[in-house]
Structure 1
Amino acid sequence: MNNKEIAAELSKLNNIRIVDDNPGYWVILLENFQLHIITDEKANRMRIICPIKDTSDLKKNQLKEAMQAHFHKALDTKYAIYDERIWSVYTHYLKELTAEMFLDAISQVFHGANNFGDSYSSSNLFFSAGDT
């Protein structure tokens, strides 16, 4: 994919609202989450990130549970800390990304953010029962 193709895919989605639309940087609203789509065509990279909550608002064991989810529930999306916030993050090579993968990435980032503090899953697929 490239920036033009990403913009075209975003324009097809009727369940989002685009609030910032610039080649290489888009902000979309999906339900009550703000997803940032950032690309660098020269570096061949794409990232979708979504802020979840401030680290100061974490409950006991939430960080540990999020790290355990990386092993079996978060799939292609991971949790990260940046600027004292927890984020749902997906990164991929841009040119190798397909439209189907891009749409799945949006879904996984959204579900990773939405399920933080509960199942911590980015989809309904799990690799194992995981830690308890």
Structure 2
Amino acid sequence: MKKITAILFLLSSLITMEVNAVTQDEMEKVISDTTNIIENKKGYIVFDYKKVRMALISNVEYDRMRIITPIKKYSELDLTQIEKIMDSNFHSALDARYASSKDVLYSAFIHPMSPLSKKELISALNQVATLALTFGTTYSSGALNYGGN
């Protein structure tokens, strides 16, 4: 009986996830409705949100999306800043994280598209913007903090 209950719970969770998940078109509409669009191509939107220039990059085939904003050249970071962004990724950067690629430090939210809800997408926008804006001060993407220094 416990196994049947567990299976039913898992199945109902999957169904709920599918109902709440956004499609690429719905995700792009949320971005269009809540931000100032600079450039808009299928799977790639550049926009301003809370005075932060960001990009939404999505790919249906790979079921992946990311929201990113560049912060600073990585080679210009000092050791203290690198330590703080690493600590932040563990303690105070929630779903958004600091990441680097090709000598650029980014604030980034990377997620599968299929389970992503509209609520999570809006939270991601806020977290990516906040993480970028708090670089050099609190290094935080939101109100929660899991401890540390």
Shared fold (TM-score greater than 0.5)? Answer: yes
1:2 matched residue in structure 2: 23
Unaligned 5+ runs, structure 2: 1-21
CA distance in 2, matches of 1:113, 1:54: 13
Q: Does residue 53 of structure 2 align to residue 30 of structure 1?
A: no
Unaligned 5+ runs, structure 1: none
Count, aligned residues: 128
The two structures, once aligned, show a CA RMSD in angstroms of 1.3
1:39 matched residue in structure 2: 58
What amino acid does structure 2 have at the position aligned with 1:98? S
Residue identity over aligned pairs, in percent, reads: 31
2:33 matched residue in structure 1: 12
CA distance in 2, matches of 1:30, 1:59: 28
CA distance in 2, matches of 1:33, 1:9: 17
What amino acid does structure 2 have at the position aligned with 1:11? S
1:60 Cα deviation after fit: 4.4
Q: 2:128 aligns with which of 105, 109, 131?
A: 109
Work out which of the two has the higher radius of gyration on C-alpha atoms and give 1 or 2.
2
Once superposed, which parts of structure 1, at least 4 consecutive aligned residues long, lie more than 3 Å away? none
CA distance in 2, matches of 1:32, 1:87: 16
CA distance in 1, matches of 2:102, 2:52: 18
**Which structure's residues are more often helix, by fraction?**
2
